[in-house]
Amino acid sequence: MHERGTTSTMKKTASSFAALLAWMFAGVVSAQTTTATTTATTTPGVPNTGAGDVLTNIVILALAATVAVAAATYLYATRPNLE
Amino acid sequence: MRVLRTFIILIVMAAALVVFASAFASSFLYAPDDEIEAPPEQMVELPGPEEVPVRLRIPALGVNALVQHVGITESGAMATPKGFQDAGWYKYGVTPGGSGSAVIAGHVDNGLGLAGVFSRLHELREGDEIFVVRADGSDVRFLVSGKRSYPHDAAPTDIIFNPAGSPRLNLITCEGTWLSDTRTYDQRLVVFTTLASD
């Protein structure tokens, strides 16, 4: 009974995760297929050749790396003892 | 319960790895890309395939970059190349070597603050050579005639993108202070060049 409940919860979690990935993918596709709404002009504005907010990017990378390492460490520390 | 906890931790780890990989790719490898398909009325007759630029060489800076062909963004600005080490030619404007001002843009940095292809553009001096390599393998040589910085919202686009007059090539990149609210630098550096007479 307990195993069945656990399996059901795992399926729900996996389903939610798959839905999240599908939503993210749909967003990317939508952004890439944005159609033109600009007023036509033969002289464009100057390009934005800066790459973005460096500090924000570094914080995101650091947070994601920390979470991944913490999760991996936890899994390693609580691995089943097969002996 | 233990299996469920392990499963959730695995999901969290996978999500963190996905976030890390996408953030790394977007900040280190690929530049922001908000180019759109140009409205039909902006379409111009494109040059022959052998005339389009494919590489940009700036010996004084050690630059030898791939040239992408870029259009416009939704806001009506010139789009930018998708790679930090690539340059972008404005494909709806003048072809390098043709009458008027061709424009090639390049990033000053990437999303982690590392140098982009035009990070040293300010070091160019009058008389420095710029070579544009065309698809047919021929070179078009330009000489730097001057450079100037403009506020990002007050750059003279009619001069920078001037479709008439003698053959010129204008190189453009960002400089100045990063503006978080508008997500851009507050200045644009434009290096003006003229076609070498040889």
pLDDT at position A4 is: 57
Q: List, for residues B89-113, the tens digit of each pLDDT value.
A: 999 999 999 999 999 999 998 888 8
Asked if the structure places residue B92 within a domain, the reply is yes
Residue B181 lies in a domain: yes
Please, what is the average pLDDT of chain B?
90
What is the model's pTM?
0.75
Residues in chain B: 198
In a domain, B22, yes or no: no
The reported pLDDT for the residue numbered A35 is: 37
Let me know: does B18 contact A63? Beta carbons within 8 Å.
no
Q: How far is A26 from chain B (nearest CA, A)?
A: 15
Q: Name which of B17, B149, B177 to mutate to probe chain A: the one with the most chain A Cβ atoms within 10 A of its Cβ.
A: B17
Average confidence (pLDDT) over A62-74: 93
How much of chain B exceeds pLDDT 70, in percent?
94
Minimum CA–CA partner of B23 in chain A: A61
DSSP-derived letter for residue B60 is G
> What local confidence, expressed as pLDDT, does residue B34 receive?
79
Q: Would you state the pLDDT for residue A8? A: 65
Contact A49 B16 (CB under 8 A): no
Q: Is the pLDDT of residue B29 over 80?
A: no
Per-residue pLDDT, B183 = 85
Structural domain contains residue B82: yes
Domain count, chain B: 1
Q: Do A49 and B32 touch (CB under 8 A)?
A: no
Complex ipTM tops 0.85 = no
Cα B57 to Cα B53, B131, B132, B141, B171: the distances in Å are 11, 5, 6, 10, 12
The CATH number for B86's domain is 2.40.260.10
Contacts of B88 in chain A (CB under 8 A): 47
How many whole angstroms separate alpha carbon A58 and alpha carbon A60?
5
CA A8 to chain centre: 24
Say what the pLDDT of residue A12 is: 66
**Residue B21 belongs to some domain of the structure:** no
Distance between CA atoms of residues A83 and B17, nearest Å: 31
Across-strand partners of B193? B144, B169
- Residues B52, B37: Cα–Cα separation, whole Å: 19
Closest chain B residue to A20, measured at CA? B15
pLDDT value for B45: 58
Q: Are B109 and A50 inside 8 Å of each other by CB? A: yes
Q: What's the pLDDT at B46?
A: 65
pLDDT tens digits along A10-45: 666 666 666 666 665 555 444 444 333 333 346 899
- In angstroms, what separates the C-alpha of B198 from chain A's closest C-alpha? 30
Task: State the residue range of the domain holding B57.
Answer: 31-195
Task: Say what the pLDDT of residue B70 is.
Answer: 94
Higher model confidence: residue A39 or residue A7?
A7
Enumerate the β-bridge partners of residue A27.
none
List of E strands, chain B? 35-36, 53-58, 63-70, 72-73, 87-90, 101-106, 129-134, 139-151, 168-179, 184-195
Which comes out higher in pLDDT, residue A4 or B11?
B11
The pLDDT score that the predictor gives to residue B42 is: 59
Higher pLDDT, B142 or B33: B142
Amino acid identity, position A37: T
Residue at B149 is within a domain: yes
* A38 or B49, greater pLDDT: B49
Check if A9 contacts B (Cβ < 8 Å).
yes
